[in-house]
Amino acid sequence: MNGSILQSSESLCEAFGLTVTRRHQRLALLSLARGDHQLALRLQDEVIAPNVTEIVDLFYDRLMADPESSQFIGGEHHLSHLKETQTGYLLTLGKAFDTEAYFESRLRAGLAHAWVGLPLTTYHCGYHILQSLILSFIRKMVTEDAFEPLLLFLLKIISLDMSLAIEAYHSAQVEELMRSLEKMKHRQQLLQERVRIDSLTSVFSRSQILESLTRCITEARAHGHSLSIVMLDIDHFKRINDRCGHQVGDLVLRQVARRFMMAVRDADMVGRFGGEEFLAILPGADKARALQIAERIRTHTASSPVKSDQQLIDVSVSGGVATLSQIDDLEALVARADRALYQAKNTGRNKVIYLDSEEEGLAGGALE
C-alpha cells in the first residue's frame, strides 16, 4: 500500500485488497456459510444481548488484573469509554458477517488499536479472553443441542474478526515502521551531509576533501591524467578576528569560500582544511593550468572588500600549488603544497607559489 491508510480516500476493503472474491475466499477458509447467519442471530438474541454488560465487565476485570494491560487501559474515564466501545463491538458480533461493512468495521478496529499503541500480546490475549467468556455464557444460556453449533460458530466468527483486525494492525505497524525508517534514513543523510560539508563555509569538510583527494589520486594514476592541488590561506585572518570580532571573521570565511567556488571550474573541489586554510583539488590540471586557476582564485578573492554592517574589510589569500608526481602519495602532495603556501606567506602574501617535487623548498613561478 502506498501512503497512509488513514489518508486514503478508498475503503479499507479496497486498501487491503479485500474484493468480493477475496472476502468470499476468507469466509470459505473459515467454513462460514449462509446458514451461519441464523446462528449469528441466535448467538446475539440468546447469549450476547442479554448478558453484554456482564460479559464486558468480566472482560475488563480480567484485563485489569494484568499489569501490562491495566497500564494501557488507564483511568476510570478511559475504562468507561472502552467498555462502551466493546459493548458496541459485541452487539454486532457475527451480524451480516459476509458484507463489506462487516469486514470494514473489523479492519477499522485493528487500525484503531494499532494507532493507540495497544500491545500485540494484549490484543491476541484479549480475543482469547473474550471468546472464553462468551463460551461460558453459551453453556449457561442455551440448550444442550444448540451448544455445539453455537460453539463452532463462535470459534469461526472470532477467527474471522481476529484475522481482519490483526491484518489491519500489522499493516499499520509496518507503515509506522516504514515511516520511522524513512525518518532514520533522513537523519542519517543529514548527519552524513554534516560530515561531508563544513557547516560554516558550505564547502567540503576536511575529511571529505581528503577523501576526495585520495580518490582523485587513484583515478589520475589509473588514467594517466594530471592532478594539481592548491593550498589557500586567508592573509592576516587573526588580525581580522582580533579587530572586528569572531562574527565578522566567520562572515569573511563564508564570503571567501564563496569566492573560491566562483573562481574554480565545475570539476574542481574546494574544502576547508582547517581554520582559515582551504584546499582546492584541480583534476586534470597540469602546472600551467593549476597556476592559472590559483591565480584566478587569488585575484577574484581580492577583487572587492567584504561588507560587514558599516565596515569594508579588505581580504586577500596566499596560495601554494603542487602537481602530482610519480612518487607522490597524498601526504607528500599536500605537504609540498603546504610548503609552497608557507613560502607565499613569508615572501609578501597575496601571491601564488608553485613548488615542483624536485625543488623541495625552492620557490618556482611566483606570481605577484
Closest Cα partner for 133 from 71, 78, 50, 62?
62
Count of other CB atoms within 10 angstroms of residue 244: 17
Q: Which of 10, 211, 219, 276 is catalytic?
A: 276
Active-site residue 276, yes or no?
Answer: yes
The grid coordinates listed for 205 are: 569538510
Query: For residue 141, what are the contacts with CB-CB under 8 A and spacing of at least 6?
Result: 46, 47, 50, 51
Q: Could you give phi then psi for residue 119, rounded to 5 degrees?
A: -60, 140
Give yes or no for a contact between 320 and 347, defined as CB atoms under 8 angstroms apart: no
Q: In 3D, which of 90, 21, 97 has the Cα closest to residue 50?
A: 90
The DSSP 8-state label assigned to residue 364 in this structure reads E
- Nearest CA to 218 among 330, 321, 333? 330
Contacts 24+ apart (CB under 8 A), 119-128: 119/68, 119/72, 120/169, 120/173, 121/68, 122/63, 122/66, 122/68, 122/69, 122/72, 123/165, 123/166, 123/169, 124/162, 124/166, 125/66, 125/69, 126/59, 126/63, 126/69, 127/158, 127/161, 127/162
Please, what is the angle between helix 237-244 and helix 246-263, to 10°? 140
Q: Where are the beta strands (DSSP E) in the chain?
A: 227-234, 269-274, 277-283, 306-308, 311-313, 317-323, 352-354, 364-367
End-to-end CA distance of the chain: 66
Number of residues that this document lists for the chain: 368
SS3 of 45, please? helix
Which residues, listed in sequence order, are joined to residue 313 by a DSSP beta bridge? 306
Could you give the 3-state DSSP secondary structure of residue 323?
Answer: strand
Which three cell numbers mark 117? Answer: 499503541
The residues that are catalytic are 276
